[in-house]
Amino acid sequence: MNNWSGFYKKTRDERLNVIKEANILDNEHFDLLNNNKILDFETANNMVENVVGTFSLPFSVVPNFVVDKKSYLVPMVTEEPSVVAACSNAGKIVERCGGFSTTIHDRKMIGHIALYDINDVEATCNLILDNKELLLKTANEAYPSIVKRGGGACDLEVKVLTEDNTSFVVAYLIVDTLEAMGANMLNTMLEAVKISLESLTGGVALMAILSNYATRSLVSSRCEIPFSNLGDNGEYLAKRIELASKFAQADTYRAATHNKGIFNGIDSIVIASGNDWRAIEASCQSWAARDGKYKGLSTWTCDLEKQVLIGELTLPMPVASVGGSIGINPSVKVVRAMLGNPDAKTLASIIVSVGLAQNLAALRALVGDGIQKGHMKLHAKSLAILAGATTDILDEVVEKLRAEKHMNLATAKEIVSTYKK
Ligand code: NDP
The tens place of each residue's pLDDT in the chain, 421 residues long, gives 468 999 999 999 999 999 999 999 999 999 999 999 999 999 999 999 999 999 999 999 999 999 999 999 999 999 999 999 999 999 999 999 999 999 999 999 999 999 999 999 999 999 999 999 999 999 999 999 999 999 999 999 999 999 999 999 999 999 999 999 999 999 999 999 999 999 999 999 999 999 999 999 999 999 999 999 998 899 999 999 999 999 999 999 999 999 999 999 999 999 999 999 999 999 999 999 999 999 999 999 999 999 999 999 999 999 999 999 898 999 999 999 999 999 999 999 999 999 999 999 999 999 987 666 666 777 888 889 999 999 889 989 999 998 888 889 999 999 999 997 6
Q: Which ligand 1 atom is nearest residue 185's CA?
A: 25
Amino acid at 66: V
Residues with Cβ within 8 Å of 153's Cβ and at least 6 positions away in sequence, in order, are: 136, 139, 140, 173, 174, 175, 189
Q: Is 276 in the pocket of ligand 1 (CB under 6 A)?
A: yes
Nearest CA, atom 4, ligand 1: 323
- Are the CB atoms for 171 and 192 separated by under 8 Å? no
> How far is residue 306's CA from residue 240's CA, in Å, rounded to a whole number?
17
Contact 344, 109 (CB under 8 A): no
DSSP per residue, 298-361? EEEEEETTTTEEEEEEEEE----SBSTTTTT-HHHHHHHHHTTS--HHHHHHHHHHHHHHHHHH
* CA end-to-end span of the chain: 48
Ligand 1 centroid from CA 266, angstroms:
21
Q: Helix (H) and strand (E) counts for the chain?
A: 16, 10
> Is 324 a pocket residue for ligand 1 (Cβ < 6 Å)?
yes
Nearest to 78 by CA among 100, 62, 54: 62
Residue nearest atom 34 in ligand 1 by C-alpha distance: 276
Q: What is the pLDDT of residue 373?
A: 66
This prediction has a pTM of: 0.92
Cα of 378 to ligand 1 centre, how many Å?
A: 38
Q: Choose the catalytic residue: 276, 333, 381, 400.
A: 276
Q: Please give the pLDDT value at position 1.
A: 47
Residue 276 falls in the annotated catalytic set: yes
What is the pLDDT, as a whole number, of residue 420? 75
Tell me, what's the pLDDT at 247? 98
Looking at this predicted complex, what is its ipTM?
0.97
Ligand 1 centroid–CA 291 distance in Å is 30
CA of 101 to the centre of ligand 1 (A): 28
282 lines ligand 1 (CB under 6 A): no
The pLDDT value given to residue 376:
76
Backbone φ and ψ for 394, nearest 5 degrees, come out as -55, -50
**Ligand 1 center to residue 333 CA distance, Å?**
17
Q: Quick check: is 80 catalytic?
A: yes
> What integer pLDDT is reported at residue 150 of this predicted model?
98
Instruction: Calculate the alpha carbon distances from 114 to 67, 161, 169, 186, 292 in Å.
Output: 40, 9, 6, 15, 22
